Amino acid sequence: MSTVTHQTAAREESHTPVRGLGWYGMVFFIASEAVFFANLIAAYLYLHVHAGPHWPTLDLDKVLAAVNTVILVSSSFVLTFAARALNRGNRRAFSGLLLLTILMGATFISIQLYEYVNNGFGPDKNIFASSFYTLTGFHGAHVTVGILFLTVCWFRSLRGDFSKDNHFALTAAEMYWHFVDVVWIFLVLLLYFVVR
């Protein structure tokens, strides 16, 4: 294992903006995740087309969804600011902004759960309800994993684990968080606004 690290280290010495092995691993992992959501969305659209005029719709709280979207998308920006703070060497701002991201994510999940409890139908209601809970549920699970990931980073930031040159875990968490955000934009458009 150590030899591998040496190798990478050697590569990094030679030219500056080289990316670690982990970065590549993360890219392909996220690619696979993207295909996962693409399959879910394709399945949703397939069922929609298959049902034709019989496709059922249910009342959803669009305002709440819009608010939630704003929260999640902003959290991505906050996280970017956090990473920039770290690059500037401002560790306090970094930890604070990271915590803010986590809280925003938690708010998103809470609002989502609130919606689950109060929208008055379960996954067995009809095929739209099944799709709604499955798509948002999978997304919510990913957000939750993202929150855990960021929380670990936050604790590590308190311990001073990260520096300008050494923060791969944070980079990975950041990549994941942005990905989860982008997925949400697709889902919210599909389920709440455009293709209902």
Partner 1 sequence: MAVGSIATRGRTARQTWKQSKFGSWVTTTDHKKLGILYVSTGFIFFLAGGIEASLIRWQLSTPNAGHLSPEAYDQIFTMHGLTMIFLFVMPTMAGFGNYLVPLMIGARDMAFPRLNALGYWLLFFGGIFMYASFIFGSAPNAGWFSYAPLTEASPGCFTQGVAAMSAQAQAQFATQNLQLSCFSPGQNPDFWIIGLNLLGISSLVGALNFIVTILRLRAPGMTINRMPLFVWMTMITSFLLVFALPSLTVASFLLLFDRHLGTHFYQAGAGGDPLLWQHLFWSFGHPEVYILILPAFGMISEILPVFSGKPIFGYTFVAWSGVAIGFLSFTVWAHHMFAVGLPTVAQAFFASTTTLIAIPTAVKIFNWVATLYGGKLRFHTPMLFATGFIAMFLIGGLNGAALAVVPFDYQVTDTYFVVAHIHYVLFGGSVMAIFGGIFYWFPKMFGRQLNETLGKIQFWLFLIGLNLTFFPMHILGILGMPRRQYTYPPNLGWDGLNLAASIGVLILIAGVLIFLWNLVRTFMKSGVGMADDPWDAFTLEWATASPPPPENFKTIPTVRSRRPLWDMKHPDKADWLTEGH
Q: Which residues bind partner 1 (CB under 8 A)?
A: 1, 3-4, 7, 21-22, 24-25, 28-29, 31-33, 35-36, 38-40, 43, 46-47, 50-51, 54-56, 122-124, 126-131, 133-134, 138
Residue with Cβ nearer partner 1 (51 or 158): 51
Minimum CB separation of residue 38 from partner 1 in Å reads 8
Nearest approach, Cβ of residue 63 and partner 1 (Å): 26
Say how many CA atoms lie within 13 Å of 32 toward its Cβ.
5
Give the 3-state secondary structure of residue 11: helix
CB closer to partner 1 out of 2 and 166: 2
C-alpha–C-alpha distance, residues 38 and 84, integer Å: 31
The distance of closest approach from Cβ of residue 187 to partner 1 in the complex, given in angstroms and rounded to an integer, is 14
Residue 43 or 145: which CB sits closer to partner 1? 43
Q: Do residues 67 and 111 touch, judged by C-beta distance below 8 A?
A: yes
**Distance separating alpha carbons of residues 185 and 11, to the nearest angstrom:** 38
Closer to partner 1 by CB, 37 or 177: give it. Answer: 37
CB of 87 to partner 1, least distance (A): 24
Report in angstroms how near the CB of residue 23 gets to partner 1 at its nearest.
9
List Cα–Cα distances, 10 to 17, 24, 49, 167, 171, in angstroms.
13, 17, 54, 18, 21
Q: Which is nearer to partner 1, 89 or 123 (CB)?
A: 123
- Contact in structure between 152 and 177 (CB atoms under 8 Å): no
12's CB contacts (< 8 A; 6+ apart) are: 18, 20
